[in-house]
Amino acid sequence: MSKNQGDGVCIRMNMDGHTSNTYVSPVSSKDIACGIDGEKGVSRVCPAKTSSILTFEFREAPNDVNSLPLDESHKGPAAVYMKKVSSATDSNNAAGDGWFKIWESVYDRENGKWGTTKMIENDGHISVRVPDDIEGGYYLVRTELLALHAASDNPPDPQFYVGCAQVFIESNVTTTNPGRRPETVFIGEGTYTLENPALTFNIYDKPLKLPYPPLGPPVYKPRSNADLPGESNSHLQVQRDRTQIKGLKPAGCIFVNGNWCGFEVPAYNDEAECWVASDDCWRQSDNCWAETQPTGYGYCTEWSKKCEEIQDSCSSGRFPGPPNAGQDITPPWKKLGEGATEIFY
């Protein structure tokens, strides 16, 4: 069953709300790996299993769950990559080698639709399946949208919208055969340049000059033992002792807002203790606004309601407290629309 991990949870994101929805510029930038601030690890890591489906939501206005996903004029290919890392929460591990593509949607000749168009029509969602033969452990999962509406301008202005999620993949299999591991590519400074014809493709040509030039490596296809000469089950090892230890939801967290957590205030039985609890709550409220991603700005006001209730208790002499101590007050996450978890190509 699909489970919404929470708005912005496990996502590396540009913390500046004014630029968090902008594209990477220039295309040769090191930010092409995971976007602006994409080298900064965040505190949460979301769990998934091999063969499970990951669904990503896109929107123009990060803090508006009802925002349009992308301007419909922004036509181009879409892709998703993965990269195995020693720790997903570490910083400075995005740009570089290690990336392999697990999905792409380029141009559907039959329907005359680009990958970004299909994403928009799917209520802003892209779903992909985790390969069933990859090793368990920590990964970065990178989404890539390329808008080509200005790619034929002078000078060309292809627009990459990229971002990364931190995940832990549960897998029962490791292997001692290097040939079984996905071939990887470098994504970082200089990976993309305007010399690449895929970045200057004219989407307004009639007819289009198809096929669309290759952009990045081919999609990785899980391989069976028969695909690897000399491979036998004796090379495979059952992996059951590796479990996620980093990026878990902190114990005592009663309010999840992106990668930020709110914790219950100290218990109080009199006015002095109540004001201590109130100060603690408002301190956390300040931290929410300072530390949460742009996707969570609106949710900080929900935490403030708790602080207002405690403050009112202190002024009115209502003890003991806090009210509903330890209760999880995370607002319910938006439900995915019909078809959001379906995989399109």
Domain match, 214 and 259 both: no
Domain match, 215 and 261 both: no
Contact 41, 167 (CB under 8 A): no
Q: Please report, in tens digits, the pLDDT of each residue of the chain (345 residues total).
A: 578 899 999 999 999 988 999 999 999 999 999 999 999 999 999 999 999 999 999 999 998 888 999 999 999 999 999 999 999 999 999 999 999 999 999 999 999 999 999 999 999 999 999 999 999 999 999 999 999 999 999 999 999 999 999 999 999 876 655 556 899 999 999 999 999 999 999 999 999 999 999 999 999 999 764 454 444 443 445 454 479 999 999 999 999 999 999 999 999 999 999 999 999 999 999 999 999 999 988 899 999 999 999 999 999 999 999 999 999 999 998 888 888 999 999
In a domain, 343, yes or no: no
β partners of residue 255: 262
Domain count, the chain: 2
Domain match, 49 and 179 both: yes
In a domain, 100, yes or no: yes
In a domain, 310, yes or no: yes
In a domain, 62, yes or no: yes
pLDDT computed for residue 247 by the predictor: 98
Q: Give me the domain span that covers residue 39.
A: 11-238
In a domain, 60, yes or no: yes
Domain match, 52 and 194 both: yes
In a domain, 328, yes or no: no
Domain match, 305 and 173 both: no
Domain match, 61 and 185 both: yes
Domain match, 169 and 290 both: no
Model-level pTM? 0.93
Domain match, 310 and 193 both: no
Domain match, 168 and 97 both: yes
Domain match, 292 and 223 both: no
Domain end among 211, 238, 265: 238
Domain match, 206 and 289 both: no
Residue 177: give its domain's CATH number.
2.70.50.70
Domain match, 136 and 265 both: no
In a domain, 340, yes or no: no
In a domain, 179, yes or no: yes
